[in-house]
């Protein structure tokens, strides 16, 4: 494990040290300075592309090693298959108590992986029900599930495909809700909002292994696996505990037909680097602690215009829920940025999460409650927590007065 980070500055220094060592080790040069992370990623991609990667149209199919992953590469649209038996450990973390067979591949993004997977489930298990133990799931996944659910000819509520969504899980008990299932053919687990070395992922994997239930992990690697800066869009599918290759093959073929496999320059070269994994894990846990502190200090909301939603298990953000007709979210975002300037805190009004900076994301909901969500993503630098609290309290107070 990496040494403890005691301050934001210590984290930055440690990150610089690790990325410089990674670059020096793999490219035998010390010419890169990773203080500017975006510039570092651009230079790293150039070096990766300059390696002997297969072209778009291969004259011959190729087998190659890429920063710890072994690939079988075909015509680019047809994909690059990961042939490592230990792909789970390379993407996630070692498992001492499980001996699971695993296989998988990378996709251009996570929603491609989810779409392909749910499509295949609809074909293989047309009478099954998708079941998720939460009040909601990620909005794009929800659309896909509802779309396919309506196509089922004779849904059997006893045959449940359990869909676990890390963005929506409220407590640990929901992670193993499949434990008492009578007929559970498969568990699908979108791990995106959990650190990939999190005990929450390990809990699900070990429980599925004990019950001998096939498990498929999907993931977006966009934020939590690259120090909060976007190396590239990248998704993955990992299949655990499958006796045959039918579902894996169908998913592979479907993604191949869509041309949605990841390109080599999308795959983080440092994805399998254990020291970098550890520092990323510490970064995520620090954001969680900051978020917990900030949430505890927010002013109580009066009136019926909105309320704070209980924190999700991932603990990376806190959410203010409002009635859509009462809040102009664009103006709320503009007000957020203005308040950040007033309190001298770096903030962004942007989509997604897991950045190192303080941010606000708006998620509009078209459910029966006609609700919208302002999601505040906590900063990594703990010294900014009190400023973030002031911004949120003043923003919500401003909204309430409108």
Same domain assignment for residues 63 and 45: no
Residue 365: predicted pLDDT: 60
Counting Cβ atoms within 10 Å, is residue 368 exposed (0-12), middle (13-18) or buried (19+)? Answer: exposed
Q: Are 92 and 36 in the same domain?
A: no
Range of weakest confidence among 72-86, 116-130, 190-204, 282-296: 72-86
Say yes or no to pLDDT of 392 above 60: yes
pLDDT at 328: 77
DSSP output for 246-314: HHHHHHHHHHHHHT-BPPGGGS-TTTT-HHHHHHHHHHHHHHHHHHHHHHHTSPPP-SSSEEEEPPPTT
* pLDDT tens per residue across span 263-293: 888 999 999 999 999 999 999 999 999 999 9
Q: Are residues 22 and 134 in the same domain?
A: no
- Which of 240, 272, 304 terminates a domain? The answer is 272
- Which residues, listed in sequence order, are joined to residue 349 by a DSSP beta bridge? 360
User: What is the model's pLDDT at position 84?
Assistant: 73
Residues 204 and 73 in one domain: yes
Could you report the per-residue pLDDT of 314-334, keeping only the tens digit for each? Answer: 999 988 888 777 777 888 889
Residues 149 and 165 in one domain: yes
Give residue 121's pLDDT band: very low, low, confident or very high (50, 70, 90). confident
181 touches 215 (CB < 8 A):
no
Average pLDDT over residues 286-302: 91
Give the number of C-alpha atoms closer than 13 A to the C-alpha of residue 202, restricted to the C-beta side: 11
Q: How far is CA 355 from CA 91, 227, 283, in A?
A: 20, 7, 10
Question: What's the CATH code of the domain at 363?
Answer: 3.90.1150
d(CA 185, CA 161): 6
**pLDDT score at 364:** 65
What order of strands is seen across the sheet that includes strand 371-377? 306-309, 317-323, 371-377, 358-364, 347-349
Is the Cα dihedral 186, 187, 192, 197 positive or negative?
A: negative
Residue ranges making up the domain that contains 13: 1-51
Given a cut of 60, whether residue 366 has pLDDT beyond it is no
Confidence of residue 80 (pLDDT cuts 50, 70, 90): confident
pLDDT exceeds 80 at position 17: yes
Model confidence, pTM: 0.90
Check residue 14 and give its pLDDT: 93
Say how many C-beta atoms besides its own lie within 10 A of residue 220's C-beta: 24
258 has pLDDT over 50: yes
Taking the C-alpha atoms of residue 93 and residue 86, their distance in angstroms, rounded to an integer, is 10
**What pLDDT score was predicted for residue 1?**
43
What mean pLDDT, rounded, does the chain reach?
85
Q: How far, in Å, CA of 74 to CA of 58, rounded?
A: 7
- In the chain, the N- to C-terminal Cα span, in Å, equals 50
Residues 65 and 23 in one domain: no
Give the chain's domain count. Answer: 3
DSSP 55-94: -SS-SS-EEEEETTEEEEE-SGGG-EEE--TTHHHHHS--
pLDDT at 141: 73
Q: Same domain for 165 and 34?
A: no
pLDDT at position 367: 58
Lowest-pLDDT choice from 155-159, 180-184, 326-330: 155-159
Helices (H), 101-198: 110-124, 139-149
DSSP class of residue 343? Answer: T
Is residue 215 located within the same domain as residue 71? yes
């Amino acid at each position: 494990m990496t040494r403890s980070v005691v301050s934001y500055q210590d984290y930055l220094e440690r990150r610089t040290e690790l990325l410089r060592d990674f670059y020096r080790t793999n490219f035998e040069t010390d010419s890169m300075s990773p203080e500017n992370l975006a510039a570092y990623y651009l230079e790293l991609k150039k070096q990766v592309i300059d390696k002997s990667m297969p072209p778009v149209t291969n004259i011959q199919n190729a087998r190659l090693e890429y920063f710890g992953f072994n690939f079988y590469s075909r015509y680019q649209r047809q994909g690059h298959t990961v042939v490592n038996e230990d792909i789970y450990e390379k993407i996630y973390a070692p498992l001492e108590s499980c001996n699971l067979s695993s296989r998988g591949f990378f996709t251009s993004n996570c929603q491609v992986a989810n779409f392909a997977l749910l499509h295949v489930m609809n074909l293989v298990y047309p009478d099954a029900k998708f079941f998720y133990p939460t009040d909601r799931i990620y909005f794009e996944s929800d659309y896909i599930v509802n779309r396919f659910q309506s196509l089922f000819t004779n849904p059997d509520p006893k045959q449940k495909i359990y869909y676990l969504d890390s963005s929506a899980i409220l407590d640990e008990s929901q992670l193993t809700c499949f434990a008492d299932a009578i007929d559970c053919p498969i568990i699908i687990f979108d791990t995106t909002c959990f650190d990939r070395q999190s005990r929450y992922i390990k809990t699900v994997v070990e429980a599925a292994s004990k019950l001998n239930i096939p498990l498929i992990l999907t993931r977006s690697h966009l934020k939590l696996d690259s120090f909060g800066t976007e190396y590239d869009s990248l998704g993955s599918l990992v299949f655990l505990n499958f006796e045959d290759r039918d579902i894996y093959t169908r998913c592979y073929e479907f993604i191949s037909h869509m041309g949605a496999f990841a390109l080599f320059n999308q795959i983080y070269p440092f994805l399998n680097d254990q020291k970098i994994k550890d520092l990323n894990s510490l970064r995520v846990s620090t954001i969680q602690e900051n978020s917990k502190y900030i949430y505890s200090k927010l002013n109580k909301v009066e009136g019926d215009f909105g309320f704070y939603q209980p924190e999700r298990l991932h603990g990376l953000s806190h959410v203010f829920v409002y009635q859509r007709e009462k809040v102009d979210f664009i103006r709320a975002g503009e007000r957020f940025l203005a308040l950040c300037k007033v309190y001298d805190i770096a903030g962004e009004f942007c989509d997604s999460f897991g950045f190192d900076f303080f941010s606000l994301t708006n998620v509009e909901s078209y459910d029966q409650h006609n609700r919208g969500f302002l999601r505040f993503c906590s900063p990594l630098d703990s010294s900014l927590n009190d400023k973030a609290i002031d911004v949120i309290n003043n923003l919500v107070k401003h909204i309430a007065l409108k």
